[in-house]
Amino acid sequence: MLGADALCGVLTALRERWGVPLLACTFKRPLDGSEAQVVAAPTSVAANTINAGGNRRFSAVAHGVMGRVAGCECTAGSSVEHHPVQARG
């Protein structure tokens, strides 16, 4: 599993390749550190998986607006814990 710094690097590379000024993404990790996932019913319109036991979520924004220094801001240090009851988020 990639760490927050590596994910910021990937996001920055994608932003540069696609030629956009901003690119953002939210990442989810299982709270217990495992890779266990629960698959939603095939007929569900919800997201296809949830992490059993809850998620730790954080966001990153890669930026490179003209005239400013490019970089990536990340909230991994202040991530949010989420305990979904349905496979929607």
23-58 confidence digits (pLDDT tens)? 999 988 887 765 555 555 555 555 545 556 778 889
89 part of a folded domain: no
Tell me the residue range of the domain where 56 lies: 4-82
Query: What six digits make up the tokens of 73?
Result: 């801001």
Regarding pTM above 0.85, the answer is no
Question: Does the residue 65 lie in any domain?
Answer: yes
Mean pLDDT over the full length of the chain? 79
Residue 64 lies in a domain: yes
- Residue at 88 is within a domain: no
Where does the chain have alpha helices with state H?
Answer: 4-18
User: What's the number of domains the chain is made of?
Assistant: 1
Which residue did the predictor score with more confidence, 13 or 41? 13
pLDDT higher than threshold 50 for residue 18? yes
